[in-house]
Amino acid sequence: MKEQDPVERGPVQRDPVELVRAAKAIDGFPSGSVLVRGGRVVDPTQSQLAPLQAQAAAQAQASEGAATLDAVCDVLIVDGVVEAVGTDLEAPEGAEILDATGKVVIPGLIDIHVHLREPGQEWKETVASGTRAAAAGGFTAVACMANTQPTNDCRSVTEHIVEEARRAACARVYPLGAISKGLAGRELAEFGDMAKAGAVAVSDDGKPVENAELMRRAFDYARHFDLPVVQHAQDMEVSGDGVMHEGEFSARLGVPSIPAIAEDLMVARDLLLLEETGGRYHVQHLSSGRSVELIKQAKERGLAVSCEVSPHHLLLTDEDVWKAGLDPNIKMNPPLRSAADRDALVAGLLDGTIDCIASDHAPHHPDEKQLDFSAAPFGIVGLETMVSLILDRFVRSGHIDLARFVELLSTVPAQLMGLPGGSLAPGSIGDVTLLDLECKITVDAGSFESLSRNTPFDGWTLAGAPAGTVVSGRII
Amino acid sequence: MAEGHWSAKHLLGIAELEANDITSILDTAESFREVASRPIKKVPTLRGKTVLNVFFESSTRTRSSFEIAEKRMSADAINFSTSTSSLSKGESMLDTARNLEAMAPDVLVIRHPHPRVPHQLAGLIDSSIVNAGDGAHEHPTQALLDAFTIRRHKGTLEGLRVAIVGDIEHSRVVRSNVLLLRKMGASVVVAGPRTMMPRHAEALGAEVAYRVEDALEGADVVMMLRIQLERQGNSGSQLLLPSTDEYFHLFGLSAERLALAKDDAIVLHPGPMNRGVEITSEVADGARSVILEQVANGLAVRMAVLYLLAGVA
Ligand SMILES: [Zn+2]
């Protein structure tokens, strides 16, 4: 086996100070200060109330498994950057005070898989509405997919999204560029140009890169820019015209199905390619238990592979599709799989094989979801339900603690995509999420900030919810 | 007219029926069968009622059978198909429902290529709905007419062994038949090439065989399915079946194979048949074949269903 370049293992190597400076250059942080006062601060990247220290040191410490900061204290943000974390911090003159008493204060949450639909499908979502949904859902940053119209496959489209985000967004927006021009799977897009304009990774999401040679070249070429190659893993021949998981329930319903092996085949192929080429590989919305196993083995072999899982794949199965009577709002790709797959995903999340949780927020207009199950488009919205779902079903139930929650939804996503944030260590970007662990909410799709309402979680009652965000010192 | 005990608003699938509902429909069908033997085959049962036959997928046989049943009951029968109307399978369910409802039908007979479309429309519409086939999901009137035909020959469904042979994965006839036959106490074995068997076939509730001989052994009833080369999805029919000739050699019903079944076994086929593919002419036209009776019984069963859903006593 070929040893992979050690530099390309682990998180994207970008200087955190540099990242903060770059973000500042784009967004122009507001001057002034915010004191987030009296909350329970949980930050796995800090071990104690430290004096000023560089974020890099803090992150290094975290990866060595240091104890987590978990204490009632204050966070002071000055000119968009975390200045200090400590008890009874003095509010500078003119500082805004954000009372966080009774709340949990964590590094701003980052969702690395959303579809903002702009440009081109603004009836489904826009940068403005999608980031309002992000803020309402407790996220301070999102990474958006390239399957817009036109495709984000060149600098001008990337710049358009970045500009729109600067103007209208309630959360940071990091575009992913396309791997192939027009997502057509034939020619490489201009990775370098898009990266210069702000693309943080490349993906043809919505579609897989089917052509193995194109994928091989994408791995090669992305190394020049240290961009993760992000794959929607699906063998299109095997999945055919399927619309739900191939299993007991598709057999009973006579519904054309998408076998789990459609994902496994693509993951296995890509891992072989990665071993050959080097580079970084990130698998999106993992759904199959066998794919978890493949990634676990690849990680043991030292490959630079990471993966995400979506809340719906952790919580629902194909039986729920059956029970919902083929409601189009429970149709997504990859589909909800068997209980055994779901259990393997949960196990992979708990044992660390799965790196992070991402929503795959895929808005579709209610009119589009009024088609029957087979005809309706794939995808559900997730930004405004994800935090409560994970808090209720995983944190409250004791499967993961708050520190791990922060890793899964903030620290690791930042590392994987090379983003500022994921930490409240002094010097970090001033992005904060507040959580209310006690409140009970009932999901009401009708009141979403998103322009779309396609969720299978409507009406669910959950304990724990986001309670506000701060983006570079700006209270949202 | 026999009094049926089944009273429901819709006939969406066999899944929604209990055994006594099925018996009640079959009993009612017996009295309608008699109508066919009269010189004037028309009864006033549905006079003044409007029945729309809405076919999003072409089907001459089922549509004609419903249409004749409706006319014999004096209903105003109107046909809509995607080729002759503004209806389209890309239309929103709500728009489809509103358009159909605007015509104020008493009963909607719906055939759609996608599973559970009739069920979804039932939640959006006031009319009674009869599912005339939704994708590969259900085809309840076909299963009822098959059961009716079997019962006329065997007296009962209970304890029978029924073999169903063909493309199991893509067949709504199989799904409805297995549900019905199991509810009525029969045992079912399904057989076909592995490429035409759903990967979790055991979930259907039937025994699964991959040799036609295993399925035929000791069967009281043999049901051969039409091999539909046009309904094999994107994967391409040649991926499921190299040739109809090879299918015939592996799974076709010949007189020699039929000899494996019980001596008094009957042979059914939902039609239209591919002679020389799933069945030989010798068997199709032979003494054990009840295939033409199925067509006649289809009328009686559909009349019974319409009567029970919309008829006035
Ligand atoms: Zn995807």
In sequence order, what DSSP letters do the residues of A261-279 get, joined into one string?
HHHHHHHHHHHHHHHHH-S
Best mutation target among A327, A372, A373 (most B Cβ atoms within 10 Å) is A372
**Sequence-ordered list of residues with C-beta below 8 angstroms from that of B233, at least 6 positions apart, any chain:** A240, A241, A256, B170
What local confidence, expressed as pLDDT, does residue A109 receive? 98
Q: Is a pLDDT exceeding 60 seen at residue A54? A: no
Percent of chain A with pLDDT over 70: 93
Reduced to 3 states, what is the DSSP secondary structure of residue A142?
strand
Whether the Cβ atoms of residue A291 and residue A267 lie closer than 8 Å to each other: yes
What local confidence, expressed as pLDDT, does residue B51 receive? 96
Please state, in angstroms and rounded to a whole number, the distance separating the CA atoms of residues B128 and A37: 62
Taking Cα atoms as reference points, which of B176, B105, B175, B122 lies closest to residue B145?
A: B176
Q: Is a pLDDT exceeding 50 seen at residue B1? A: no
What local confidence, expressed as pLDDT, does residue A1 receive? 44
Q: Is a pLDDT exceeding 60 seen at residue A6? A: no
How many angstroms away from the CA of B46 is the closest CA of chain A? 31
Contact flag B120-A370 (C-beta cutoff 8 Å):
no
Cα distances (Å, whole numbers) of residue A445 to A122, A346, B250: 19, 26, 53
Q: Is a pLDDT exceeding 70 seen at residue A347? A: yes
Query: What pLDDT digit, counting tens, does each position of B241-257 carry?
Result: 888 899 999 999 999 99
pTM recorded for the entire structure: 0.91
Whether the Cβ atoms of residue B135 and residue A255 lie closer than 8 Å to each other: yes
Contact flag B136-A240 (C-beta cutoff 8 Å):
no
> Residue A260: what are its φ and ψ, rounded to 5°?
-60, -30
How would you write chain B as a 3-class SS string? CCCCCCCCCCECCHHHCCHHHHHHHHHHHHHHHHHCCCCCCCCCCCCCCEEEEEECCCCHHHHHHHHHHHHHCCCEEEEEECCCCCCCCCCCHHHHHHHHHCCCCCEEEEEECCCCHHHHHHCCCCCEEEEEEECCCECHHHHHHHHHHHHHHHCCCCCCEEEEECCCCCCHHHHHHHHHHHHCCCEEEEECCHHHCCCCHHHHCCEEECCHHHHHCCCCEEEECCCCCCCCCCCCHHHHCCCHHHHHHHHCECHHHHCCCCCCCEEECCCCCCECCCECHHHHCCCCECHHHHHHHHHHHHHHHHHHHHCCC
Nearest CA in chain A to B113: A374
CB pairs under 8 A between A and B: 77
Contact flag A240-B93 (C-beta cutoff 8 Å):
no
Partner B contacted by A250 (CB < 8 A): yes
Token duo for residue B200? 């979790």
ipTM of the complex: 0.91
Ion ligand 1 contact residues with beta carbon within 5 A = A 205, 232
Query: What pLDDT digit, counting tens, does each position of A211-241 carry?
Result: 999 999 999 999 999 999 999 999 999 999 9
B94-103 average pLDDT score: 84
Q: How confident is the model at residue A53 (pLDDT cuts 50, 70, 90)?
A: very low
Q: How confident is the model at residue A50 (pLDDT cuts 50, 70, 90)?
A: low
A chain contacts of residue B112, beta-carbon cutoff 8 Å:
372
B chain contacts of residue A367, beta-carbon cutoff 8 Å:
92
Query: What pLDDT digit, counting tens, does each position of A89-113 carry?
Result: 999 999 999 999 999 999 999 999 9
Please state, in angstroms and rounded to a whole number, the distance separating the CA atoms of residues A403 and A297: 26
Query: What pLDDT digit, counting tens, does each position of A266-291 carry?
Result: 999 999 999 999 999 999 999 999 99
From ligand 1's centre to the CA of A205, what distance in Å?
5
Helical pair B172-183 and B140-154, crossing angle rounded to 10 deg: 50
A chain contacts of residue B137, beta-carbon cutoff 8 Å:
253-255
Best mutation target among A371, A373, A454 (most B Cβ atoms within 10 Å) is A371
How many angstroms away from the CA of B93 is the closest CA of chain A? 5
Query: What pLDDT digit, counting tens, does each position of A363-374 carry?
Result: 999 888 888 999
Contact flag B135-A255 (C-beta cutoff 8 Å):
yes
Contact flag A240-B135 (C-beta cutoff 8 Å):
no
User: How many CA atoms does the CB half-sphere of B80 hold within 13 Å?
Assistant: 21
Other CB atoms closer than 10 Å to residue A406's CB: what's the count?
Answer: 26
Taking Cα atoms as reference points, which of B312, B273, B305, B282 lies closest to residue B148?
A: B305
Contact flag B116-A325 (C-beta cutoff 8 Å):
yes
Q: What angle (nearest 5°) sits at the alpha carbon of residue A378, between those of residues A372 and A379?
A: 120
Percent of chain B with pLDDT over 90: 76
With b for 16 or more beta-carbon neighbours within 10 A and e for fewer, the B276-304 pattern comes to: ebbbbeebbeeebbbbebbeebbbbbbbb
Q: Residue A57 corresponds to which amino acid?
A: A
Q: Is a pLDDT exceeding 80 seen at residue A56? A: no
Nearest CA in chain A to B89: A375
What local confidence, expressed as pLDDT, does residue B38 receive? 87
Contact flag B114-A374 (C-beta cutoff 8 Å):
yes
| Sign of torsion over alpha carbons A6, A8, A9, A13 | positive
How many angstroms away from the CA of B302 is the closest CA of chain A? 23
B211-216 average pLDDT score: 98
Query: What pLDDT digit, counting tens, does each position of A71-94 carry?
Result: 999 999 999 999 999 999 999 999
> Residue A324: what are its φ and ψ, rounded to 5°?
-80, 5
**Sequence-ordered list of residues with C-beta below 8 angstroms from that of B136, at least 6 positions apart, any chain:** A254, A255, B115, B169, B170, B171, B172, B175
Reduced to 3 states, what is the DSSP secondary structure of residue A402?
helix
A407-411 average pLDDT score: 98
Query: What pLDDT digit, counting tens, does each position of B41-85 carry?
Result: 889 999 999 999 999 888 889 999 999 999 999 999 999 877 655
Taking Cα atoms as reference points, which of A426, A465, A423 lies closest to residue A442?
A: A465
